[in-house]
Chain A
Amino acid sequence: MASFPLNAWYAAAYDVELGRSLLARTICNKPIVMYRKQNGEAVALADACWHRLLPLSQGSLHGDNVICGYHGLEFDDSGRCVYMPSQETINPSACVKSYPVVERHRFLWIWPGDPALADPDLVPDMHWNDDPAWAADGRVIHVKCDYRLVVDNLMDLTHETFVHGSSIGNRAVAEAPFEVTHTDRTATVTRLMEDITAPPFWASQIGRAEHMDRWQVINFQAPSTICIEVGVAPTGTGAMQGDRSKGVEGMVLNTMTPETESSCHYFWAIARSYDIHNQARTHQLREGVAGVFTEDELILEAQQRAIEANPDHVFYNLNIDAGSMWARKLIDRMIAEETAIKTAAE
């Protein structure tokens, strides 16, 4: 069974990564070349010339078209060949695949599956990344692991206690109970920690550590987007009942794009709704989260290596894995659905 559905929007690039040059990236095992047209619109084409398969990303941009760096075949933004050397006509078969692209929430989203199903309304909601009421920034990191290991990692934050003890983790996280709910396409893990000592990162954001209420609401959207509501507020100010106005509130935005079965592009951002015009804080938060995620990266890549070294082993699951098990079930359901559609289409 495949490990990812193809009929889904996947983040392929951060908005700032894409410009008037050719960016090569493999998405769901498909080599893709991306660029912006003169009007700023993004284009995504298969990264192999129709003729001799040289990656088009080794060619050059000419207006809104890409020219192969080998024999000069030129393809327009729909992937149709518009120039062939030394002949007056163009072979009607000559084209490279073009992928549906949508730019939203500061990401370029690509639909690697059936283009007829690529409905822009299905782009995952990550609006905090460019909502004027929030300040946000982030990065993309290449992680040499199955994207589902990142999903597992984010769907259970118990690991903060053990992996991120110097910043966001302490015993309170590992000891607090949690609730898991789900719909047909989403799963949610809610962990409320009442009257705890805030870990160093959160203490620095609100200016105190003792008698705090802390929340973590992990929202999974299949197949691979996870937006986590996080924050702390002084105990007794209503945060546990839903009024977070006396605290500091953030969103950790994550969307993972499979590169291959065993590697992924991990796009993230940290957003906050407090002190939003403070650019230094935006910078510090992004750098801080980048440091935290480096700790995860070490774990995830070691875990992938161990999986490959133990090919016939399967995971044991604990109570804390309920969120990730729901996420994986919803991913598997998407894969089964598109397999069923393909079978019916035959």
Chain B
Amino acid sequence: MRNATDWRTARVAHIDEPAADVRRVVFDVTGGVPPFDPGSHTNIRVTIGGQGAIRTYTCLPAGRDQIAIAVKLHPQSRGGSRFIWSLMPGQEVELTAPENRFELSWRAPEYLLLAGGIGITPIYGMAQALAARGQKVRMHYGAQSRAAMPFVEDLQALLGDRLTLHAADQGQFIDLDAVIAELPPSGEAYVCGPLGMLEAVKAAWARAGRPISRLRYEVFGDNGKFAELPFEVSVMNTGISVTVRPDQTLLGALQEAGVEMIYDCQRGECGLCAVGLVTREGEIDHRDVFFSEEEKREGHRMCSCVSRLVGGCAVIDIGYRP
């Protein structure tokens, strides 16, 4: 269930780099932290270009009254990861008590954990919890290189030969059909990784004829097939045109320009912020999980909170009929 947001003050206690370009930040939380399960996330008030914004990060296993996150520095960061990377020990931030929308069910006879790159963050805690409670679990962890995989030593100690690593720079990739076939029919898979990986897993899961309710995943909508480029939109019936910078979303740019929008999840799940595309020059980088593959191919609409144009311009329809 979704809870009302509970903001707390926290102070940076410790920073380290568990892998190349990945920084782990541990916060001491004033007033403590209620117990939370793996898969939980926290929202942090960040500052981007002098403006306040909210970014969501998975809570890693941490000490009592602490919240820990691990953040990869994105070359094309919209600013969230750059802010986290700028933090110094002792600095204060505001964050929310952990909330979970990616919970282990604890009812499967066996679990398949699939992590891609920095998508390891929720999967790491799940692996710990499942191993600690003697559950049957297999994990496949893929990334660009071995050096880009945080927490590998811990996970190897925890899972032994139940963990397989796949380093793309050594030509190692996860054979999704094969690993899904090894899972008993009532087994569950938990996936976190780039959107391309998630789509491949969903397709393989469907090919295997498995029920979608046993495939569980979480998205943050912050990575697409293409790098972030600026693009232009004109809003039909308003006379408003905006340039969407690489470090902001279409939704953010519209709001900045005074366009009234409705939205909720801001991670490409709910579809409330979707806009119509009346005319368009430039490819769409769909980064949501709201539209079906077919709807994405048709390209009539896009989620303004996460999806972008790869440069170019468009006339969009937000439903305003003066």
CB <8 Å contact, B269 and A91: yes
Does A175 touch B at the CB level, under 8 Å? no
Please tell me if the beta carbons of A89 and B106 are within 8 angstroms of each other in the complex: no
The segment from A92-100, A178-186, A207-215 that touches chain B is A92-100
Contact B269 A92 (CB under 8 A): yes
Say yes or no for B207: interface residue by CB 8 A criterion: no
Which of chain A's residues has its CB closest to B63's CB?
Answer: A346
A343 & B105 in contact (Cβ 8 Å cutoff): no
Q: In the bound complex, what is the Cα–Cα distance between A173 and B66 (angstroms)?
A: 57
Residue of A nearest to B191 (CB): A92
- Contact, CB under 8 Å: A78 / B105: yes
> Please, could you name 30 A-B residue pairs with CB atoms under 8 Å apart, sorted by A?
A48-B1, A50-B1, A76-B211, A78-B213, A80-B213, A81-B213, A82-B212, A82-B213, A88-B291, A88-B294, A89-B289, A89-B291, A90-B212, A91-B265, A91-B290, A92-B216, A92-B218, A92-B269, A93-B102, A93-B269, A100-B106, A100-B107, A115-B105, A116-B129, A343-B35, A345-B35, A346-B33, A346-B34, A346-B36, A346-B63
Distance of A50 Cα from B2 Cα, bound (Å): 8
State whether B105 touches A98 (Cβ < 8 A). Answer: yes
Cross-chain contact A76 with B213 (CB below 8 angstroms) = yes
B281-322: CB near A (< 8 Å → 1, else 0) gives 000000001111011000000000000000000000000000
With A and B bound together, what is the CA distance between A50 and B271 in angstroms?
16
Scan B198-242; emit 1 where CB is below 8 A from any A CB, else 0: 000000000000011110111100000000000000000000000
Q: Is A118 an interface residue (CB 8 A)?
A: yes
How long is the Cα–Cα vector from A89 to B65 in the complex, in angstroms? 38
For A48, A91, A92, which residue has the most chain B Cβ atoms within 10 angstroms?
A92
Please give, as numbers and ranges, the residues of chain A lying within 8 Å of B65 by CB-CB distance: 346
Closest-by-CB residue of A relative to B135 is A116
**B290:A87 contact, CB within 8 angstroms:** yes
Interface of B: prevailing SS = loop
B64 lies within 8 A of chain A by Cβ: yes
CB–CB B107/A98 < 8 A: yes
Instruction: Verify if B101 is at the interface (C-beta below 8 Å from A).
Output: yes
> CB of B270 within 8 A of chain A?
yes
CA distance A96 to B1 in the complex (A): 7
- Any chain B CB within 8 A of the CB of A46? yes
Identify which of B135, B214, B265, B290 contacts A89 (C-beta below 8 A).
Answer: B290
| Complexed CA–CA distance, A81 and B213 (Å) | 7
Query: Roughly how many angstroms separate A100 CA and B66 CA in the complex, as a whole number?
Result: 30
- A342 on the interface (CB 8 Å rule)? yes
Which of chain A's residues have a CB closer than 8 A to the CB of B63?
Answer: 346
Complex partner residue of B292 from A89, A91, A93, CB under 8 angstroms:
A89
Using Cβ atoms and an 8 Å threshold, which residues of chain A touch B33?
346
Q: For chain A, residues 54 to 83, give those with C-beta under 8 angstroms from any C-beta of chain B.
A: 76, 78, 80-82
Contact with A along B42-65 (1 / 0, CB 8 A): 000000000000000000000111
Instruction: Looking at the assembled complex, report how far the CB atom of A86 sits from the nearest CB atom of chain B, in whole angstroms.
Output: 10
Interface residues of chain B, those whose CB is within 8 Å of chain A, are 1, 32-36, 63-66, 101-107, 129, 133, 135, 211-214, 216-219, 265, 269-271, 289-292, 294-295
Most buried by A among B65, B212, B218: B212
The docked-state distance in angstroms from the alpha carbon of A88 to that of B292 is 6
Name the A residues within 8 Å of B107 (CB-CB).
78, 98, 100, 115
Looking at B103, B107, B292, B294, the one whose CB has the most chain A CB atoms below 10 A away is: B107
Cross-chain contact A116 with B106 (CB below 8 angstroms):
yes
Q: Which residues of B contact A87 (CB under 8 A)?
A: 271, 290
A79 and chain B: residue at smallest CB distance: B105
CA distance A53 to B135 in the complex (A): 32
Note all chain A residues with C-beta closer than 8 A to B1: 46, 48, 50, 53, 96-97
What string of 1s and 0s marks CB contacts (under 8 Å) between A98-115 and chain B? Answer: 101000000000000001
Nearest A residue (CB) for B65: A346
Q: How far is the CA of A98 from the CA of B207 in the complex (A)?
A: 27
Chain B residues within an 8 Å CB radius of A115 = 105-107
A 264-299 to B, binary, CB cutoff 8 A, 1 in contact else 0: 000000000000000000000000000000000000
CA distance A115 to B107 in the complex (A): 8
Smallest CB gap from B130: residue in A: A116
Q: A88-B294, A117-B133 are in contact. List 18 more A-B contacts (CB 8 A).
A: A50-B1, A53-B1, A78-B105, A80-B213, A82-B211, A88-B291, A89-B292, A91-B270, A91-B290, A92-B289, A93-B265, A100-B106, A115-B105, A116-B133, A343-B35, A344-B64, A346-B32, A346-B66
Contact B105 A88, beta carbon cutoff 8 Å: no
Residue picked from A46, A76, A95, A96, most chain B C-beta under 10 Å:
A95
A100–B1 Cα distance when bound, in Å, is 17
